[in-house]
Amino acid sequence: MRITVGADIVSIHRFQEFVHDINHPALKKIFTRDELDYCFSKGAVEPHLAARFAGKEAIIKALYSRDIQDVWYIDIEILNKRNGVPVARLKKDMYKNLKLEISLAHCEDKATAFVIILGDD
């Protein structure tokens, strides 16, 4: 089985300007409604936005390694299990043969993500 990886790191302050408007058009281009609901349910919104953005970039990198270049930020959704573990998936019917594994982390000023994609193209 083929494995590709992706990683990304993002400055959290990039998302500061969006934290008061869940309906900001720039956010809606990148994040799904459920992702925005999750991030805006948190005391500090921007680390969660930044971590998801890093996750989407990392997934796009891991897909590029397979020459897949038609997946956009909004085609990716990163939500959490009840225990907090993040789960990433592509929009319905996109590359159903691929399995995504993701880990996110954030500190005071940076958010980072690491992704593994498994499956044969």
Q: Which of 57, 106, 115, 117 binds ligand COA (CB under 6 A)?
A: 106
Residue 85 CB, nearest approach to ligand COA (Å): 4
Q: Does 51 bind ligand COA (CB under 6 A)?
A: yes
Q: Does 84 bind ligand COA (CB under 6 A)?
A: yes
Letter for the amino acid at 84?
G
- Segment holding 25, helix H or strand E: helix 25-30
Residue 112 CB, nearest approach to ligand COA (Å): 8
Q: What is the CA radius of gyration of the chain?
A: 14
Asked whether the CA dihedral 91, 94, 97, 102 is positive or negative, the reply is negative
Residue 52 CB, nearest approach to ligand COA (Å): 7
Question: Among 4-12, 25-33, 80-88, 90-98, which window interacts with ligand COA (CB under 6 A)?
Answer: 80-88
DSSP conformation letters of 26-86: HHHHHS-HHHHHHHHTSSS-HHHHHHHHHHHHHHHHHHHTTT-----GGGEEEEE-TTS-E
Number of residues located near ligand COA, criterion CB under 6 A: 10
Q: Does 48 bind ligand COA (CB under 6 A)?
A: yes
Site residues (vs ligand COA, CB under 6 A)? 48, 51, 80, 83-86, 104-106
